[in-house]
């Protein structure tokens, strides 16, 4: 059963006439299903951004929150590795400037202040609705593995634990997840957990038309959903 908090996320988007969830809403949804997300806060002023950055701890990532900007880095709407209050203030204004230039007339809802996830193995989990089979679930490694090599695995939702484990092992680059050449292995138990949680979320939330968690950064122990996009 979905709880009220989940219903509310969709209702707010619906009431505002949006056909998508902002990153922080999509991440809240993921968190409700037990997925590990980055710490996040929405700032509506420079001072507030500094206050939240202090609370979360440095280094910090700042991102644009705007109904007109779905692909944030394309519009200069993502700044990573900000190390102190001065860099937060400068970054806050830089993002506003970048977005105004790239998307004239963009409405600025706020600036997302978030924990910077350390480096690790980048994976992506996604979903689209198939007219015949319903929700599909996709898994792959991030970056060129998906974009150039199309090295991904698919299942129809719902999946069981064995399906999740198979999806992970099926990709051609699986060896990378086991750890190669000084790169530590990735927490496959956590990946199974994330795939299962995503399947459950898709089953319980028919509002989701498309889902894209890109990237999820995975460590030897644990992971962080660093970006999430949901189309309704």
**Can you read off the two tokens belonging to residue 212?**
């894209």
Nearer to Mg ion, 50 or 99 (CB): 99
CB of 72 to ligand ADP, least distance (A): 3
* Residue 215 contacts ligand ADP per CB under 6 A: yes
CA–CA separation, 204 vs 107, rounded Å?
Answer: 31
Please give the size of the binding site for ligand ADP, defined by CB under 6 A. 15
Residue 66 touches which member of Mg ion, ligand ADP, none, C-beta under 5-8 Å by kind: none
**Can you read off the two tokens belonging to residue 202?**
């898709």
* Residue 72 contacts ligand ADP per CB under 6 A: yes
CA–CA separation, 172 vs 194, rounded Å?
Answer: 20
Would you report the helix, strand and coil content of the chain in percent, each value rounded to 5? 40, 25, 35
Nearest one of 198, 202, 205, 203 to 223, comparing CA atoms? 198
- List the one residue from 23, 163, 187, 227 that touches Mg ion (CB under 5 A): 227
- List the one residue from 42, 80, 85, 156 that touches ligand ADP (CB under 6 A): 80
Q: What angle do CA 215, 221, 226 make, to 5 degrees?
A: 20
Nearer to ligand ADP, 100 or 200 (CB): 100
Applying CB under 6 A, which part among 24-32, 82-90, 115-123, 169-177 lies near ligand ADP? 115-123
CA–CA separation, 214 vs 217, rounded Å?
Answer: 9
CB of 31 to Mg ion, least distance (A): 17
Residues that bind ligand ADP (CB under 6 A): 38, 61, 63, 71-73, 78, 80, 114-117, 215, 226-227
């Amino acid at each position: 059963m979905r709880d009220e908090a989940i219903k509310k996320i969709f209702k707010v988007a619906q009431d505002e006439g949006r056909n998508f969830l902002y990153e922080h809403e999509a991440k809240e949804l993921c968190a409700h299903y037990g997925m590990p997300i980055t710490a996040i806060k929405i700032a509506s002023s420079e001072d507030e951004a500094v206050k939240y950055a202090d609370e979360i701890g440095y280094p910090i990532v700042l991102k644009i929150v705007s109904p007109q900007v779905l692909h944030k880095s394309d519009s200069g709407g993502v700044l990573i590795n900000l190390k102190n209050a001065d860099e937060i203030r400068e970054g806050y204004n830089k993002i506003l400037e970048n977005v105004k230039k790239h998307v004239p007339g963009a409405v600025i809802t706020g600036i997302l202040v978030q924990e910077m996830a350390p480096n690790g193995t980048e994976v992506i989990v996604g979903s689209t609705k198939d007219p015949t089979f319903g929700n599909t679930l996709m898994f792959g490694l991030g970056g060129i593995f998906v974009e150039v090599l199309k090295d991904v695995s698919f299942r129809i939702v719902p999946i069981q634990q064995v399906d999740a484990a198979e999806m992970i092992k099926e990709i051609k680059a699986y060896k990378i997840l086991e750890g190669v050449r000084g790169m530590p292995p990735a927490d496959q138990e956590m990946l199974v957990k994330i795939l299962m949680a995503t399947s459950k979320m898709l089953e319980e939330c028919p509002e989701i038309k498309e889902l894209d968690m890109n990237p999820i950064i995975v460590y030897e122990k644990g992971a962080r959903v660093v970006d999430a996009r949901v189309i309704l």
